[in-house]
Amino acid sequence: MYSDRIKSLPPYPFAAIDRAKLAAQKKGVDVVDLGVGDPDLPTPQIIIDALCEAAKNPDNHQYPSYEGKIEFRTAAADWYKETFGVDLDPESEVLALIGSKEGIAHAPLAFLNPGNLALVPDPAYPVYKTAVEFAGGVPAIMPLKRERGFLPDLDAISSDVARKSRLIFLNYPNNPTGACADVPFLKKLVDFAKDNNLIVLHDNPYSEVYFGENRPPSILEVEGARDVAVEFHSLSKTCNMTGWRVGFVVGNQDIIKGIGNVKSNIDSGNFGAVQDAGIVALKNSRGIAADMRETYKERVELLYQGLSKIGLEVEKPEATFYLWAWTGGKSKEYTRKLIDKLGIVATPGVGFGDYGEGYVRFSVTQPTERITEAVNRMEKMVAEERSL
């Protein structure tokens, strides 16, 4: 019944997590979900009010434009200017998306022919690899290893693979590892892309979830980046709007045009009222994100101390709301033990790729008291195991 394309797909790890969680809940287990990175913090009321008002506007009841309202694209351009100091033309260098996942998944269709190589990090958000394969491309894996700060070794990519590749996916601040990339690395990436005629697709939804003094950079801050790169952003993490499905991609206008051509043939634009609410979100994001960071910083510290105490190797993340913990064993077995014995949901690292094996990703998108409960359960289990 199914196409070879569907048959070749691995199970989507987050769907499997949902099934395991549901099964435990049906048994009456009090589940603490530290798996999927879906913020528990509510969407601010000012954004909700804007949506309610915009929904009354008859203009928003008709088909939206594929590229997004110019008002929304202008707000996105203004946000990039204020946040990163990057000037963008909202007409040609900004494209609205139904959440950034949509644009990420569609982008390879615009640039890959069957058999073309695409450089894909591992471990990584699974959609990068899947999108390449959906387009008939062949993923060329770039390992992200702890000893290199979970940055790819661009020098280790053979000249033959680099020359045959059409595009490269990267994501910093990084999901699942929490690592960040600095400007020198991003400059090296841009030069590497220029030398090898590569398109850079940089996924940057966690730019506002950081814990140091300085915000992680946008790749578009790097001189020459606009010649080869686009960057995806979403209001999901920045403004706690995961269910709203509103994001955008910015940068090189030819790449933007290619993604837009695919989008116009496959789906439609965002509901106009959601875009209007998105404008309000972008204009108020600085305060929203500042409060959010304080909450996540406290939770990260709590879980970091707990995981360290039970003997997992984990570094405190520079950004994102994830902790990437080395367990030393099979990641699926470890997460199965957590759900079966403790009612704790976490994500096996192998779900992000082969180089994620041995790791488990924990998310802090739960209230502090629930994270405390999870830590207490894990400490009790480890104490019991050590006493045997």
Residue 133 has pLDDT above 80, yes or no: yes
Do 272 and 305 belong to one domain?
no
pLDDT of residue 160: 96
pLDDT of residue 385: 79
pLDDT of residue 20: 80
pLDDT of residue 19: 82
Do 198 and 325 belong to one domain?
no
> Residue 14 sits in a domain of what CATH number?
3.90.1150.10
Share above pLDDT 70 across residues of the chain, in percent, rounded to a whole number: 98
Q: How far is CA 211 from CA 106, 152, 179, 372, in A?
A: 32, 23, 12, 20
Q: How far is CA 327 from CA 134, 158, 307, 321, 377, in A?
A: 32, 31, 10, 19, 17
Beta strands in 269-315 (DSSP E): 313-314
Task: Name the domain count of the chain.
Answer: 2
Do 113 and 259 belong to one domain?
yes
Do 29 and 104 belong to one domain?
no
Residue with tokens 């020198």: 184
pLDDT in tens, 198-237: 999 999 999 999 998 889 999 999 999 999 999 999 999 9
Do 86 and 232 belong to one domain?
yes
Do 269 and 329 belong to one domain?
no
Query: Among 7-16, 123-132, 252-261, 314-323, where is mean pLDDT lowest?
Result: 7-16
Do 279 and 326 belong to one domain?
no
Average pLDDT score, the chain:
94
Query: Among 12-16, 210-214, 226-230, 262-266, where is mean pLDDT lowest?
Result: 12-16
* Domain hosting residue 312, numbered range: 4-42+290-387
pLDDT of residue 305: 96
Do 172 and 50 belong to one domain?
yes
Per-residue b/e over 297-336, b at no fewer than 16 CB within 10 Å? bebbebbbebbeebebebbebbbbbbbbbbbeeebbebbe
Residue 388 has pLDDT above 70, yes or no: no
Q: How far is CA 150 from CA 27, 139, 272, 362, in A?
A: 38, 18, 39, 17
pTM for this model (two decimals): 0.94
Do 68 and 202 belong to one domain?
yes
Identity of residue 200 = V
Considering all CA atoms of the chain, what is the largest pairwise distance in Å, rounded to the nearest integer?
68
Do 141 and 165 belong to one domain?
yes
pLDDT tier at 25, thresholds 50, 70, 90: confident
> Residue 276 sits in a domain of what CATH number?
3.40.640.10
More confident residue, 15 or 146: 146
pLDDT of residue 13: 67
pLDDT tier at 378, thresholds 50, 70, 90: very high
Do 280 and 294 belong to one domain?
no
